[in-house]
Amino acid sequence: MRYISTRGQAPALNFEDVLLAGLATDGGLYVPENLPRFTQEEIASWAGLPYHELAFRVMRPFVTGSIPDADFKKILEETYGVFSHNAIAPLRQLNGNEWVMELFHGPTLAFKDFALQLLGRLLDYVLQKRGERVVIVGATSGDTGSAAIEGCKHCENVDIFILHPHNRVSEVQRRQMTTIFGDNIHNIAIEGNFDDCQEMVKASFADQSFLKGTRLVAVNSINWARIMAQIVYYFHAALQLGGPARSVSFSVPTGNFGDIFAGYLARNMGLPINQLIVATNRNDILHRFMSGNQYVKETLHATLSPSMDIMVSSNFERLLFDLHGRNGAAIAGLMDSFRQGGGFSVEPERWTEARKLFDSLAVDDAQTCETIAEVFEQSGELLDPHTAIGVRAARECRRSLDIPMVILGTAHPVKFPEAVEKAGVGKALELPAHLSDLFERDERCTVLPNDLKAVQAFVSQHGNRGKPL
Ligand SMILES: *Cc1c(COP(=O)(O)O)cnc(C)c1O
């Protein structure tokens, strides 16, 4: 499989190189040159497969030529073997024909484990083969950091540096990162906000001289491998609900448009999906596009669903690329005008095309809490605030009651106690068994000033398993 850039100017890469790449050299994102397409018979024959075997069938075309089948199977079995629920992504019924797909049974209790557990193992496999080492520098407002550290902690050839804003992530989230020790694991608390952290990561990709030749790898969802891993659970859910003979709809709490883009790909690979609902919080750039064809940057608001607090949605470029007939020059033009003026619209026929599949809703904090309380009362299920936004959007935007609606349950409620408390649900939150002593564990973290040079100096002094690069 070959991968091409959404801006049309960067060289095409194979899977191995795409795994190790960040942004393409032209500023674009990598996407498969040709998407595999499965027949209905083929998809139907996968019913009842264990999760890792389904994952093998869905993802195999993407890694062909880079990873032999037997090795890929083994990697997938190990990856999903660390999840604490036998079904890996169980469906729980909330209401008539309405389901939550629980994607929070991985080590860090958010859906990001599905991709980052795999990414760490894939990196180790490929780097071992090539005899190379890499450095990861990633920024997190919470969930990505812990999932990336958990995914990479056993990697022989990866040193991982995660920047989080000092005193601005929840205690559970911080401890999930800082209580994992290893000479290749480095937590850095930046005396600044999340945007400062993200700017430092971007600047480090732009000028990598501080790494003295060591390659820098991305762990956010611009990395293709993350999107790829998320396609699988759309197939998994549909197969349990009568698919592919019957079509299914999904509501996806979204920020960077990564998770929902995976659903869009599943549909283009042959899975009958009737409707995809973009569910945002008050940071609603995606909702404003879907409802009014305006993609315009606005100020960032802190919400009770912090993992979706974004101003611009990086993966949205991958959808725009398809909406523009995969014309890289057109996307480069759009992104240029976005950078200069802070917004754009697309031609009406392109927007109408998108609206055939996508609907959207923005849900504020009060409505989020209302939904947590409502669902708890109706069904006894305690939702995290991100998932609650998905449920709210599903209930308001649903096109057909006859078609099963699956809401992606993106995190365990214990990660977001503030929202659960505000919802007034009188249920104590308990950490799952493997994290029950989280608050007693020692922490390891370095606080650094909001200064790029200081951070880069730290990375180059510790980037080789704690030793200088
Ligand atoms: C990351 C995250 C999201 C948003 O996912 P995107 O792929 O960026 O759309 C939603 N919910 C939770 C809990 C997350 O951690």
**Is residue 198 predicted with pLDDT exceeding 90?**
no
- Each domain of the chain, given as residue ranges in start order, spans 86-107+224-422
- pLDDT for 312 equals 87
Does the pLDDT value for residue 368 go beyond 90? yes
For residue range 102-129, what is the model confidence (pLDDT) as tens digits?
A: 999 999 999 999 999 999 999 999 999 9
Question: At the top level of CATH, which class does the domain 86-107+224-422 belong to?
Answer: alpha beta
User: Average pLDDT in the 231-242 region?
Assistant: 98
Ligand 1: which of 101, 114, 143, 408 to mutate, judged by most atoms within 8 Å of the beta carbon?
Answer: 143
Check residue 423 and give left, alpha or beta (phi > 0: left; psi -120 to 50: alpha). Answer: alpha
The reply to whether 297 belongs to the active site is: no
User: What strands, in cross-sheet order, belong to the sheet with 30-32?
Assistant: 13-14, 2-5, 30-32
Ligand 1 pocket (Cβ < 6 Å) reads 110, 112, 143, 221, 253-259, 307-308, 386, 410-411
Please give the full DSSP string across 226-239, using - where no structure is assigned.
HHHHHHHHHHHHHH
Question: What is d(CA 220, CA 140) in angstroms, rounded to the nearest whole number?
Answer: 9
- Measured at the CA of 84, the angle between CA 406 and CA 52, to 5 degrees, comes to 70
Q: Which atom of ligand 1 is nearest to the CA of 256?
A: 8
Q: For 58-78, what is the mean pLDDT?
A: 97
Atom index in ligand 1 nearest the CA of residue 415 equals: 13
With tokens 């725009």, the residue in question is: 320
- pLDDT at position 200 is 94
Residue 426: count of CB within 10 angstroms of its CB: 7
Q: What is the mean pLDDT of the chain?
A: 95
Model confidence at 221, pLDDT cuts 50, 70, 90, reads confident
142 falls in which pLDDT band (50, 70, 90)?
Answer: confident
Confidence at residue 310, expressed as pLDDT on a 0 to 100 scale: 87
State the DSSP code for 411.
B
The CA 216 to ligand 1 mean position distance, Å, reads 23
CA angle 338, 342, 347 (to 5 degrees): 55
User: What's the average model confidence in pLDDT over 451-456?
Assistant: 97
CA of 70 to the centre of ligand 1 (A): 31
Ligand 1 atom with minimal separation from the 253 CA: 10
Among the residue ranges 32-36, 255-259, 373-377, 429-433, the one predicted with the least confidence is: 429-433
- Region 85-89: what's the mean pLDDT? 96
Do residues 211 and 463 touch, judged by C-beta distance below 8 A?
Answer: yes
Residue 321, pLDDT score? 98
Whether the per-residue pLDDT at 453 is higher than 80: the answer is yes
Other beta carbons within 10 Å of 208: 16
What integer pLDDT is reported at residue 168 of this predicted model? 85
Calculate mean pLDDT across residues 368-391: 97
Ligand 1 site-directed mutation target among 100, 224, 234, 256, most atoms within 8 Å of CB? 256
Question: How much is the average pLDDT of 329-339?
Answer: 94
pLDDT confidence bin for 193, thresholds 50/70/90: confident
The pLDDT value recorded for residue 202 is: 87
Among 386, 391, 412, name the best residue to mutate to test ligand 1's pocket (greatest count of ligand atoms within 8 A of Cβ).
Answer: 386
Q: What is the pLDDT of residue 353?
A: 97
Contact (Cβ atoms closer than 8 angstroms) between residue 167 and residue 197: no
190 neighbors 20 (Cβ within 8 angstroms)? no
Contact 286, 360 (CB under 8 A): yes
